[in-house]
Amino acid sequence: MLLLIFLSIPFINKDSLINAGLNYGYNLDFRKAESCFYSLSKYYPDLPEGYFFQGLLLQFIMLDNFSDLYKEKYYELIKKTITLAKKNNSFFYLGSAYLYWALFEGWRKNYWQSYILGKKLPKYFQKALANKENLTDCYLGLGLYEYFKTKANKYLLGLKIFGNKEKGLNFLYQAAKEAKILRITSQYAYAWVLIEEKRFAEAESILKNLITSYPFNKVFLRLLRDLYFKKGDYQTCLQIAEKLQDLEKRKVLENELLMGKAYFYLKDFKKAKEHFDYIIKNRENFKKLVRFKDHYQEALKYYQKLKWY
């Protein structure tokens, strides 16, 4: 009888739910992704995985929408992850929770908070490596931490922090090639860092492969658009920006700004001015977006250069 009862309970494979949820998330099917991650916390309520991936999904949704609208729910999920990870000695998820929380605060320009959170993560990833726990996925966190240390002085004035750029890049390269859980995320992160380092050809190859697999992922497309802008290929930048506009089915502040700047450098000042003018006239619609002030001030700066056109 006990055997029959046991056999009647459906077996829920944790790794399968994680992989399915991530795949739905990368394809922007957020409802199905949420269902997978909610099931994780339902069937494994005392483990950190379900809460971590629910938080990660919320973070991706906020990034996709340039809004921190769900930050309170996000904080609740990430703190729950930390509590359960400590209880279970799940050092990989403990380090990952601090990693993504630090990235979230950095995105919101809370740089000191990001630095304080980021300082916690190396020891947990080192413990995870010592325990042979999700080995290759630890390289994502270690790589980003080491790389961002090389940039910290730009944002944390007066604080002397030194990182090892090559060490960070090597960790990220390994994560992009070998990570089991977060390989796609690692490839995106590595591409972002390569663009920062002006290694455009390598980043372009990674991003094109990601977009081939996930053609409607706007976050991947935005980074490829930014790559072409930084490379000076403004025509290709505009082509991707127009594709993003079609996918969004609305005008997005960041995209309008990039299009205006691309037309400006192509010396099509009339079209450039149209995009900057749109941002200025629709200021109230964009006010609540993360980094609105930076984008708005930049649009004003360019608009002033074009006031006679």
Question: Is pLDDT of 104 > 70?
Answer: yes
Question: Is pLDDT of 155 > 80?
Answer: no
How far is residue 48's CA from residue 100's CA, in Å, rounded to a whole number?
14
Residue 205 maps to a domain: no
Q: Where is the domain boundary, 112, 133, 148?
A: 112
- pLDDT-based confidence at residue 11 (cuts at 50, 70, 90): low
Residue 264 maps to a domain: yes
Number of Cα atoms under 13 Å in the Cβ half of residue 238: 16
Task: Report the candidate in 41, 14, 36, 12 with the shortest Cα–Cα distance to residue 26.
Answer: 36
Question: Is pLDDT of 7 > 80?
Answer: no
Give φ, ψ of 91 to 5 degrees: -70, -30
pLDDT for 134: 77
Task: Report the candidate in 69, 70, 64 with the shortest Cα–Cα distance to residue 217.
Answer: 64
- pLDDT-based confidence at residue 283 (cuts at 50, 70, 90): very high
Give φ, ψ of 12 to 5 degrees: -105, 110
Residue 177 maps to a domain: no
**What DSSP letter does each residue of 102-161 carry, written as one string?**
HHHHHHTT-HHHHHHHHTTHHHHHHHHHHTTSSTTTHHHHHHHHHHHHTTHHHHSTT---
Q: How many folded domains does the chain comprise?
A: 2
In tens, the pLDDT along 115-149 reads: 999 999 999 999 999 998 778 999 999 999 999 98
pLDDT for 8: 35
Task: Report the candidate in 278, 277, 285, 283 with the shortest Cα–Cα distance to residue 304.
Answer: 277
| Structure-block tokens of residue 66 | 């340039």
pLDDT for 158: 63
pLDDT for 139: 96
Residue 31 maps to a domain: yes
Domain range for 266 is: 232-309
Q: Where is the domain boundary, 112, 145, 178?
A: 112
Q: Where are the alpha helices (DSSP H) in 164-217?
A: 165-178, 183-196, 200-213
pLDDT, mean over the chain:
92
Residue 303 maps to a domain: yes
How far is residue 212's CA from residue 217's CA, in Å, rounded to a whole number?
10
Least confident interval from 30-39, 150-159, 232-241: 150-159
Residue 87 maps to a domain: yes
Residue 200 maps to a domain: no
Residue 40 maps to a domain: yes
| Structure-block tokens of residue 277 | 């003018």
| pTM, 2 dp | 0.91
* DSSP category for residue 10: P
In tens, the pLDDT along 55-94 reads: 999 999 999 999 999 999 999 999 999 999 999 999 999 9
Residue 307 DSSP SS3: coil
